[in-house]
Structure 1
Amino acid sequence: MSSIPDTPYGADDGPMTAAERRVVLASSLGTVFEWYDFYLYGSLATIIAQQFFAGLDPTSAFIFALLAFAAGFLVRPFGALVFGRLGDMIGRKYTFMVTILLMGASTFIVGILPTYATIGVAAPAILIVLRLLQGLALGGEYGGAATYVAEHAPQGRRGAYTAWIQTTATLGLFLSLLVILGTRQVLGEQAFADWGWRVPFIVSIVLLGVSVWIRMSMRESPAFLKMQMEGKTSKAPLSECFGEWKNLRIIVLALFGLVAGQAVVWYTGQFYALFFLTSVLKVEASTANLLVAAALLIGTPFFVVFGSLSDRFGRKPIIMSGLALACLTYFPLFQALTSAANPDLARAQATAQIVVQADPVTCSFQGSPIAREIDFTSACDIAKRTLAQNAASYRNEALPSGEGARVRVGEKVIAAPNARIAAEGGRFEPASVQAVADFRRQVVEAMRAAGYPERADPAKLNKLEIVLILSVLVIYVTMVYGPIAATLVELFPTRIRYTSMSLPYHIGNGWFGGLMPTIAFAMVASNGDIYHGLWYPIVVAAMTLVIGLIFIRETKDVDIYAKFLYWHPNRLSK
């Protein structure tokens, strides 16, 4: 039977002991591998769209691929409930084993799953099921890792110790990018797009073996063992968490006053920036991955920096400062990213603006992930679809009712055709097919003549500036994310900590954050402005900033050990 260490917890000075280093290393490495598995899909979203959603037009396929990516995030709160309950009832260590086995198996199966070309609609259906299983597993992972490390950390050092767990998501993304880049380099772009994309998923089985071995070497949390020996473990964590308003209130405040804003800043800085580079600015994928990887390498140490600073100056000032900076600077940073990554595009947007002129009632919502090409038959829809597929930024100008839609590129105006569905259905009439093709050709020719590039010119990339901008975005991530684990641990009592902190974390990161790329790209496709999607993270971060400043109290001096096994309002006060 495991025993409680004799070393008293609560000391806040001295270097990290060997035992403490083993705890942090074991928790962090296992979590890195789990995040690696989860983020492979996001890093390969463009290829996943081509392989598994080939039945849709390119714009819808990419949005649907992002929606499948988000599916894993949508179920994370349910994983938090299932595994959080187990973690509070039977212990932190054994719950870890279940989550990592479920994650690893699901990832490996993605690597051997037949594509749409082989088994049709069954392919995306199975893919989404696997994403859901990954999401359930991840829902039980983070709360356990953060709780485990925090309950081993000395008083006054929790921010620094748990910050190592905060690095794991970024390191997992970094590792996935490196494996993808290495595979691309060895196989070449064509082979990688055809079948080589499977390799990073398949080799994860090796990481699974390493992760299981690491988890087997871990001991149970001393705080949980003490509570277990005293007979104070919760018999019904869910009822205690959500059936008592004193605890439910803190869960709600943690979600809206801390985690929701942290989540959108995280996914904007590390995922949306990558998608923006490749899908909007048309930077070659391997180059974009290298640039993001460089920024991650620069920014990752700041997780520990800000976690340590939160032990001295408090969690709240650092998190709230990161949210405020993101709200104030996202638009200028992404505009600067455009100028650095695709200066020809930035110049064309400034000198030859694209305008869609149409009767608004004839325009459909362009961001639907299940739309087909034949669902857009009006001249307005065809005009916007053409521009979206060319990643063109445009503004909308309303015309009186009854007037036909047209696209203006600089001084050139091109009338958009209406399309008719063939009598047998399922496709356009031949005449409409030709008219739409002619229109698209004219729009592309006008864009090229006005200086709009087909791709970002590698010779014109300002790589240093791009890495600096991306590094700033990552540093915002470290500000809001570095202290968050310690904050959440300190908000809740030991007996229901795993469940209580996991739910707001995974609702915030799974729903507010995980849906961020999908919602942002749908907003861009519908509105036409390539920067319009930034309003989503800015509004959510601003909401969290206001709620957090008013309702969230400082937690850095809270003692989370034995005398605080039960919740008390004074715990939230200095």
Structure 2
Amino acid sequence: MTREEKKVILASSAGTVFEWYDFYLYGSLAAIIGAQFFAPFPEATRNVFALLAFAAGFLVRPFGALVFGRLGDLVGRKYTFLVTILIMGISTFVVGLLPTYESIGWAAPVLLIVLRLLQGLALGGEYGGAVVYVAEHAPNGRRGFYTSWIQTTATMGLLLSLMVILGVRMWTGEQAFAAWGWRIPFLLSIILLAISIWIRMQMNESPAFKKMKEEGTNSKAPISEAFGQWKNAKFAVIALLGLVAGQAVVWYTGQFYALFFLQSILRVDMFTANVLIAWSLILGTAGFVIFGTLSDKIGRKPIILAGCLIAAITYFPVFGFITKTANPALHRAHQSTQVVVLADPNDCSFQFNPTGTSKFTNSCDVAKALLARNSVNYRVEPAPAGQPAKIRIGQTEVASYDAAKLTGDATRTAPAAFTRDVTAALTAAGYPGATNAEIVKLSSFFDVFRAQPFLLVLTLTYLVVLVTMVYGPIAAALVELFPTRIRYTGMSLPYHIGNGWFGGLMPATAFAMIAQSGDIYYGLWYPIVIALGTFVIGLLVVPETKDRDIFADEPAKT
């Protein structure tokens, strides 16, 4: 690799690490940000609004892909992803300066949401630009290796954000961090922005784009050419369903859902869960480059599809082992305690709530949601029509309530009494309480060299390795599907629909499936079905592109 090629990878990777660092900061600090910017609402409601603002960044990513993809195919790769990093960096820095609700009222949350939308739009354009720029500098036969360095950036950005947050938290203390210390990670991003811009300003335009401009073969309307003509649009569909959808759910399961599962399902404290994930990322990140390099030898398709298939086959036993290791008392309770919800089937809803704004008030929904939040495995048995739901725990029965019919003091006392009675019955039946001594807990970042946390780190690293299998070669595969004239636009949209929507909806969908089924592992069917679907579709219709000459500017062959 020449010095110039190393600079290309460094410039693209450094900027993209920074982009992901900015993006993950908000997700990690959503609860604290909710308290600062949505202060008039109760805690649960402001957390919902904070998460909605976070989700807005995911939802607009495909639009950013269209806007900046078109710009990149018209104006050039280098200047477009200079614009995206400026928008992302300035938006993030301003979040650290933004006055709270107490200072400027409703202008604070409005400005926050605007900044989140700008971050999502910028991220939609950044990834495609960085990948295309590196791929068009890479020699034939080495694109998998070169672009795999870009693939490490999402993981490294997540890791960097976790490390900065943990470091600032320890330095300021929890109380000061909640009051003002949360701003420091956002403000520090200005340093990363300055470094990234300086590096990128030293770079030249990609050779493939320069060749296309000199020959006058560039597209005048990249969006309509990429998606309005079936000969090109079919590759966007193939890329989405045969590669990206499966890659997205495996990626989100291995990094985000694993963290959600540890904290929300297994009740592992935030510090311990973040440290376990951070160690798994440290140990597994090299896999991106390993599998990217391997894809240059045996192809992109077999590695990505193998990762999808292995993930689908092993998720249930792996997450079962995580439960048994991280929270043995909860695992024993699942094996020994029968919990039944007796309810009129017409009283039960599927509690899918991706925006956090829906209210499920029927007695069956109230009962199932409480059990799901307490990580209880249960089954549902039909009860006579019109009868309020009951929870049977061993020999104890606790009646639920219809929240929509409560009035006066009952709106406060009924939920509290129901929660208290169910919790007491679960504890008596063997479910662990707040003082559970068997649950994994770390005292420091290096307190992982004991049997229980070390086994968890190894298991989580296995999930990260699956992530690297599907994600390491994906950039090269997407670049090679599209000709130079529409490459930026063509590859960016399916990538961000797959990762922003298929992956971004996973936590809400998984929780709804858990509440519906009464099985804490049932949510895993979401990534398993999509990964298997991608495996089958990819096997049948995705072409192998590793030997394609992308300078020839011809589309891939199906």
Candidates 353, 356, 359, aligned match of 2:338: 353
* Deviation of the 1:283 alpha carbon: 0.9
Question: Pick from 379, 395, 403: which aligns with 2:363?
Answer: 379
Q: Contact between 1:354 and 1:393, CA under 8 Å: does it hold in 2?
A: yes
Residue from 515, 521, 542 that aligns with 1:531? 521
Name the structure 1 match of 2:486: 496
**Paired AA for residue 472 in structure 1:** Y
The residue aligned with 2:456 is: 466
Q: Which moved more, 1:494-503 or 1:236-245?
A: 236-245
How far apart are 1:437 and its partner, in Å?
1.9
Deviation at 1:542, TM superposition (A): 1.4
- Say how many residue pairs are matched: 547
2:424 is aligned to 445
Instruction: Please name the residue that 1:513 is paired with.
Output: 503
CA deviation digits over 1:422-465, x for unaligned, max 9? 7xxxxx42145323322211111112222323458576422112
Aligned to 2:351: 366
Partner of 1:192: 177
Q: Indicate the larger mover: 167-176 or 60-69.
A: 60-69
Is 1:339 the counterpart of 2:318 in the alignment? no
In structure 1, the residue matched to 2:446 is none
CA distance in 2, matches of 1:497, 1:276: 37
CA contact (8 A) 2:372 2:520 kept: no
Alignment of 1:92-171 (within 5 A): 92-115=77-100, 123-171=108-156
Structure 1: gaps (5+ residues): 1-15, 423-427
* Superposition TM-score, scaled by structure 1 size: 0.89
TM-aligned CA distance change 1:187 to 1:455, over 3 Å: farther
The alpha-carbon distance between structure 1 residues 538 and 48, as it changes in their structure 2 partners (threshold 3 A), is farther
Distance verdict in 2 for CA 1:325–1:229, change over 3 Å: same
Seen in structure 2, the aligned counterparts of structure 1 residues 544 and 52 have a Cα distance that, compared at 3 Å, is farther
In the TM superposition, what whole-angstrom CA distance separates every residue of 1:157-179 from its partner, at most 9, and x where no partner exists? 11011000100111101101111
- The residue aligned with 1:430 is 409
TM-superposed deviation, 1:33: 0.5
Please identify, of 209-218 and 185-194, the stretch whose mean Cα deviation from structure 2 is larger: 185-194
The farther-off stretch of 232-241 and 457-466 is: 457-466
AA partner of residue 448 (structure 1): T
Distance 1:92 1:164 in 2: 18
Unaligned runs of 5+ in 2: 441-451
Residue 150 of structure 1 aligns with an amino acid whose one-letter code is: A
Q: Could you report, residue by residue, the CA deviation over 1:26-48 in whole angstroms, capped at 9, with x for unpaired residues?
A: 11111111110011122234444
Task: Output the amino acid matched with 1:312.
Answer: K
| Offset, 1:69 | 2.6
Is 1:298 paired with 2:286?
no
- Mean Cα deviation higher: 533-542 or 548-557: 533-542
In 1, Cα distance between equivalents of 2:467 and 2:190:
29
Distance 1:239 1:403, change over 3 A: closer
Closer, same or farther: CA 390–47 of 1 in aligned 2, 3 Å: farther
CA distance in 1, matches of 2:464, 2:295: 18
2:388 counterpart of 1:398: no
Identity over the aligned pairs, expressed in percent? 64
User: 2:240 aligned to 248, 255, 263, which one?
Assistant: 255
Instruction: Report if aligned partners of 2:17, 2:157 keep a CA contact under 8 Å in 1.
Output: yes
Q: 1:349 to 1:122 in 2, by over 3 A?
A: farther
- Residues 309 and 206 of structure 1: is their aligned pair in 2 closer, same or farther, counting only changes over 3 Å? same
How far is the alpha carbon of 1:467 from its aligned partner? 0.8
Rounded to whole Å, the distance in 2 between the matches of 1:408 and 1:53 is 38
Shift of 1:531: 1.9
Q: Structure 1 counterpart of 2:527, which letter? A: P
**2:267 alignment partner in structure 1:** 282
- Residue matched to 1:10: none
Contact 2:378 2:519 in 1 (8 A): yes
Identify if the C-alpha distance between structure 1 residues 343 and 61 changes in structure 2 by more than 3 Å, giving closer, same or farther. Answer: farther
Matched, 1:478 2:457: no
Shift in CA distance, 230/328, structure 1 to aligned 2, threshold 3 Å:
same
Structure 2 letter corresponding to 1:542: L
- Using the TM superposition, give the Cα deviation of residue 369 of structure 1 relative to its aligned residue in structure 2, in angstroms: 5.6
Task: For 2:328 and 2:222, locate their aligned partners in 1 and report how far apart those are by CA, in whole Å.
Answer: 55
Q: Does the 8 Å CA contact 2:268/2:439 hold for their aligned counterparts?
A: no
Tell which deviates more after alignment, 487-496 or 444-453: 444-453
Q: 1:431 to 1:221 in 2, by over 3 A?
A: closer
The structure-2 alpha-carbon separation of the partners of 1:525 and 1:68, relative to structure 1 and needing over 3 Å to count, comes to: farther
- Aligned partners of 1:57 and 1:372 also within 8 Å: no
Cα 1:491–1:335, aligned 2, differ >3 Å: closer, same or farther?
same
- Shift in alpha-carbon separation, 1:463–1:159, aligned structure 2, 3 A: same
1:282·1:455 contact (CA, 8 Å) conserved in 2? no
1:203 counterpart SS class:
helix
1:364 offset after TM fit, Å? Answer: 3.9
The root-mean-square deviation of aligned C-alpha atoms, in Å, is: 2.4
Instruction: Indicate the larger mover: 364-373 or 491-500.
Output: 364-373
Deviations 1:279-331 (A, max 9, x none): 22111111111110000011100000000000111111100000001111112
Equivalent residue in structure 1 for 2:530, among 533, 537, 540: 540
Question: How many angstroms apart in 2 are the aligned matches of 1:370 and 1:145?
Answer: 31
Q: 1:500 to 1:58 in 2, by over 3 A?
A: same
Distance 1:523 1:533 in 2: 5
Structure 1 stretch 508-517 or stretch 475-484: which is displaced more? Answer: 508-517
Q: Does the CA-based 8 Å contact 2:328-2:438 persist in structure 1?
A: no
Q: 1:565 aligned to 546, 553, 557, which one? A: 553
- Partners of 1:356 and 1:384 within 8 A in 2: yes
